[in-house]
Amino acid sequence: MTTSPAPAPAARPARARVAVIGGGRSCEHDVSLASAASVADALDPATYDVVRLTIARDGSWSTDDGARLDLAGAVTVLARCDVVLPVVHGPHGEDGELAALCEQAGVPYVGSAVGPGAVAMDKWVTKLVAEAVGIATAPGRLVTAASASALTWTGPVVVKPVAAGSSLGVSLVDSPEGLATALADALALDDRVLVEEVVRGREVDVAVLRRADGSVVASPALEIVVDGFFDHAAKYGGGADFQVPAALDEVDAKALEAAALAAYDALGCDGVARLDFFLTDAGLVLNEVNTVPGMTEHSQVPRMFAAAGLPYAALLDELIRAALPAPTTSA
C-alpha cells in the first residue's frame, strides 16, 4: 500500500441517459429480457436516467410504456441517449447487429464492436482465431443441410449450431441413431452446424473486462458443477451449481487468465466478455466466447466480478463509463 495521498476519484459523468436494450429476435429472447431488466434495475438512479427498450421476437421495438417504435423511431430514441447498453444475446444482437445500429445512430455503446461481436458469435470462426493464437479448441467439422447426410458415425460427438446460445440446439450424441435428430435440431436454429469431439474435463469460465480507465482485467474463474451435460434445462432449471472462485491450482489459474486475455485481445473484444473453457488432463480447451454474456445479478459474470470485490452496480458503472466519451476538463 502506498502512503501518498489518495488519487482524486475518477471523474463521473454528470447525469447520463442510458438506453438498456433487451429481448431480441433470437431463441435467447427470454434470457435477454431477464438480463436487461436486472441491469436496468441496478443502475444507480443518482447517476443514470434509464430508457428501457425491448425488441420483440418479430424485431419490432417498444418502450417500457408499451409504445411501439418503428426502426427510425428506435434510432431517434437511441440517438437522444448518452450511451446504449445492449443486452441482447445471440443472433441479431450479440453478433454485432446492435453495435452497427449504434454506430449508424452515432451513439456510444457498451461492449464489443461489430467485427468482434460477429466473429465471437460464430463458433467456427472463433475456433480459427483461437487456434491461430495457440489456444486449443475441440476438433470439429462444419456441416450444412447439404452435407449432413454424408456424415458418418465415428464415435460420440457434440452437435451444435454455429451461432446460437443458452445450449439451445446443442446435443450430446452417444449412439449412431441419435445423429440425425441432433443434426435436425441444430439445423433448425442455424444453416451451419458444428460436429465436435466430446471434450472431457471441468467446465471453467473466465470473464474479461475493459475498465473505464482502459485497463483490461480478468475475473476469478468460475466452475460449472453439473451432473451430466450443461444443457438448457441445467442452465435455467437450477440443475447446475457455480463455484466461484473455482478451486484451481495456481498453474491452471494463471493459464486460464492468460488464455482468456489472449482470446479477448485476438478477437478485439470490448466491454465485458465471458470466455468458456474446458480444463482437461491435456490442458485448456476454449469452448466459446460470449460478448454479451448473461447479466442478471445472479449470472456468471456478475458473480465472478463480485467475488473479486467489484459489485454488480459497480461493474455496470465501469462498463458505462468505459463507453462514454472522456469528460472534457474545463480550466
Ligand X SMILES: Nc1ncnc2c1ncn2[C@@H]1O[C@H](COP(=O)(O)OP(=O)(O)O)[C@@H](O)[C@H]1O
> By the criterion CB under 6 A, which residues form the site for ligand X?
138, 158, 160, 164-168, 170, 196, 198-199, 203, 229-230, 276, 287-288
Q: Which is nearer to ligand X, 60 or 167 (CB)?
A: 167
Question: At its nearest, how many Å lie between ligand X and the CB of residue 143?
Answer: 14
DSSP symbol at 177? G
Q: Please, what is the minimum distance in Å from the beta carbon of residue 121 to ligand X?
A: 9
Residues counted in the chain? 331
> How far is 207 from 295, CA to CA, in rounded Å?
12
In the complex with ligand X, which residue's Cβ is closer, 20 or 162?
A: 162
The minimum distance between CB 200 and ligand X, in angstroms, equals: 7
CB of 160 to ligand X, least distance (A): 5
Distance separating alpha carbons of residues 24 and 87, to the nearest angstrom: 9
What's the min distance (Å) between Cβ of 95 and ligand X?
12
For ligand X, give the closer residue by CB, 101 or 195: 195
Smallest gap from Cβ 114 to ligand X, in A, equals: 20
With left for phi above 0 and alpha for psi between -120 and 50, is residue 309 left, alpha or beta? Answer: left
C-alpha cell at 162: 454455429
Task: Kindly give the residue spans of alpha helices, DSSP state H, lying in 122-219.
Answer: 123-132, 145-148, 179-187
CA 85 to chain centre: 13
Closer to ligand X by CB, 119 or 164: give it: 164
Residue 269 per-residue DSSP state: -
Whether residue 176 has a cis bond before it, omega within 30° of 0: no
Grid coordinates representing 260 are 482468456
> Which one, 223 or 276, has the nearer CB to ligand X?
276
In sequence order, the 6+-apart residues with CB closer than 8 A to the CB of 290 are: 89, 94, 120, 165, 273, 274, 275, 276
Q: Which residue's Cβ has the minimum distance to ligand X?
A: 230
Q: Which is nearer to ligand X, 192 or 211 (CB)?
A: 192
Q: Which is nearer to ligand X, 126 or 219 (CB)?
A: 126
Least CB distance to ligand X at residue 56 (A): 22
The H or E element that residue 206 is part of is strand 202-210
